[in-house]
Structures are given as C-alpha cells and as structure tokens.
Amino acid sequence: MNTLEDAANQMIRLQPGSPQGYGLRALANINRTHYTEAEQDIRRAIEVAPQSAFGYVQLGNLRLAEKQFSDAAKAYQDALDRNANSTDALRGLMNAYVAEKQVDKAIAAANGQITKFPNSSSLYNLLGGVLFHVKRDLTGAEAAFEKSVALDSHNYDALIQLCQVRAAKGDIDQAIATGEQSLKDNPHQPGLDVLLGSLYESKQDWKNAESAYQSALAINSRDPVACNNLARVMLHTGGNFDVALGLAETARRSLPDSPGVADTLGWIYYQKGVYPLAINNLQEALKLQTKKNLPDSPDIHYHLGMAYEKTAQPALARQQFEQVLKTYPNYRDAEGIKKELLRLKS
C-alpha cells in the first residue's frame, strides 16, 4: 500500500485534473482502514471528473469496506450509469448484493449487462463466479465459464475457474484435460500448473503432480503455493527431505499465516525424526486454523497425533486420532488410525 500511495502521489503531481491518482490513493487508504482520508480523495476524484465512473467505483469500494452495503450498491450503479461496460463497477455491485444476501439480484445484474454486451468474456466470468462460489449452481457456472473462455481463450481467471467447477462436479479427468489444453493456449502461467498439480494430487497421481509443480517453479522459483505443494508431494514420492524442507521454508516466508504450510513443515520434521519441531509446527497449524476460522483439517490432527505418539504422549495422541475419526469417519487413513487407537489403549 505504501508503494501504491507513492505512485498515486506522483500521478496527482503530474495530472492534478485526473481522477486516477486520487482514486488510487483512496484505495491505498481503504486497505489501511483510513476511511476519512479515503473519502476526501474520492470526493476530489468525483469533483475533477464527475462523468467518470472511476471515482464512483472507489466510493463503492469504500462503502463496501464500511459495510454500508446499500450505499455501496448505489455508488456502483452510479458508476455503471457513467460507463455501462465497467467490469469493476459490475463486480462491486454484485459483491454488494451478495453481502446483503441478495444473490439473485447479483445474478440479474450480471445478466442485464450481458444483454447489453453479449460478447464480453469478463461479464460471463463474473456471472460464473457468483453461480459457482455463492449460488453453488455448478451446471450454470460451467456454462458461463465455457462461454467466457469461448469469447477469450486467454481469460486466465475463467480458465482456472472452469477447471475448478469441473473438479467440483467430480469430473477430475475433464478438469485435467481442460487445464492441459489451457496451458497449451497460455504457456508460462504458473497458476495453471499449480491447479493441475492439485488435480493430480486428488487422484494420488504423485508423479504428474510433482511435474506440474516443478513446471510452476521453473517459471517462478519462489511461488509459495507451488513450493509448499511440491514439498508435500515429495513426502509421498520419497524425495529428498532436505530439499522438501527448503521448499516448505520458502513457502512459510511468503505465507506465514497459512495452516497448510505449517502442517507441511511439521510433517517434514516428523519424517526427518525431529519430533519436537514437528509438534511445534503442527500445533501452530491448529492455532492458525482456528484464528482464520477455517474448516477443521483431519491431516493436521493425524500428523500431530503421530508426532505425539513418537514422543511418548499417548493421551494426546489418542485425542488427535479420535478428533479425525469424529470429524471425518471416512478419512483415507481411518483404518490405520483405528489400529493405532487399539494399540494405544492396550
């Protein structure tokens, strides 16, 4: 945000009559929750360019951050009235409706703009996003993303979500095929490689998963998600644990609040036999999971239970194993956990 503010200040000095500098400085302050300063810049942006949608989009962003959802919707609609093709304004309007639990109004807003601009890939992508993530209409979302990609085969976000919705429908092979074709059309996109890696992981196809993550790292050697996921896969393929540890530590530096990364680190230390560090990282993973209000991960509990067992803490180990079976009775290692519980009780 400091970099954004510096750039915005320079834009204001060079073009004081343009709304962009004021709007971008406002955006920096919105992200810092400095709402009074943001409001002043937004009012200035609207004053210097009253017919531009830009200032009204930022006003909507401010009201959305302040949880004044009706006022946010009005501001975004004012922006659309000035520029009916503003994707930012439509996205904001839909977010405001979703925040008010008026999902159908968000969908109607997208369809209304699509009627005006039927060849817009971005609009179909916005529609698909709400149908997928909020409405959970997987069939409708898939159709919207397909249309978005048909209109623009380089719409990277739509391609990612098309793969995701097909995976959510259980069509993993089709999702993989879509991802592979997308990479041919859009080479050097590490996000697609990471997505493919996760899809291969879901099939326990560790070799192809490892290859996909390595492809992502060939483009960006410090991609934190690819680093973490490759480290995790290496534990399945019998890779070098020291290399895996280095990858996980790289991921942790970029994602210090990720419970998944802390879990990966803890499990690597377990595999290396460094059980105290394993326990520290796995306990941290549970704390981060709670702090971020994320769903309970059976992997973290299982890994922590195994680490407690190795450090002669059977009561704590049983507690973690029982939590796995209670929350996820069909967990992939459920039979092994049951055997461990019987052994611990004997």
The pLDDT tens digits for 52-111 are: 999 999 999 999 999 999 999 999 999 999 999 899 999 999 999 999 999 999 999 999
Q: What is the rounded distance in angstroms from the CA atom of residue 335 to the CA atom of residue 346? A: 17
Q: What is the rounded distance in angstroms from the CA atom of residue 266 to the CA atom of residue 104? A: 44
Residue 116 carries which side chain, given as an amino acid letter?
Answer: K
* pLDDT exceeds cutoff 90 at 189: no
Q: What is the rounded distance in angstroms from the CA atom of residue 157 to the CA atom of residue 201? A: 21
The pLDDT tens digits for 101-156 are: 999 999 999 999 999 999 999 999 999 999 999 999 999 999 999 999 999 999 98
Mention every residue, 6+ apart, whose C-beta is less than 8 A from residue 158: 121, 124, 125, 128, 145, 148, 149, 152
Residues 166-172: contacts with CB under 8 Å, at least 24 apart:
166/142, 167/199, 167/202, 168/132, 168/138, 169/138, 169/139, 169/142, 172/199, 172/202, 172/203
Query: Can you give the pLDDT at residue 3?
Result: 93
Return the percentage of the chain with pLDDT > 70, whole number. Answer: 100
Mean of all residue pLDDT scores within the chain: 95
Q: How confident is the model at residue 239 (pLDDT cuts 50, 70, 90)?
A: confident
Other CB atoms within a 10 A radius of the CB of residue 206 amount to 18
Query: Can you give the pLDDT at residue 66?
Result: 96
Q: How confident is the model at residue 238 (pLDDT cuts 50, 70, 90)?
A: confident
Q: What is the rounded distance in angstroms from the CA atom of residue 37 to the CA atom of residue 35? A: 6
Q: What is the rounded distance in angstroms from the CA atom of residue 88 to the CA atom of residue 178? A: 27
Query: Can you give the pLDDT at residue 210?
Result: 96
H and E: helices and strands count for the chain: 20, 0
Q: Are 175 and 166 in contact (CB under 8 A)?
A: yes
The pLDDT tens digits for 296-325 are: 999 999 999 999 999 999 999 999 999 999
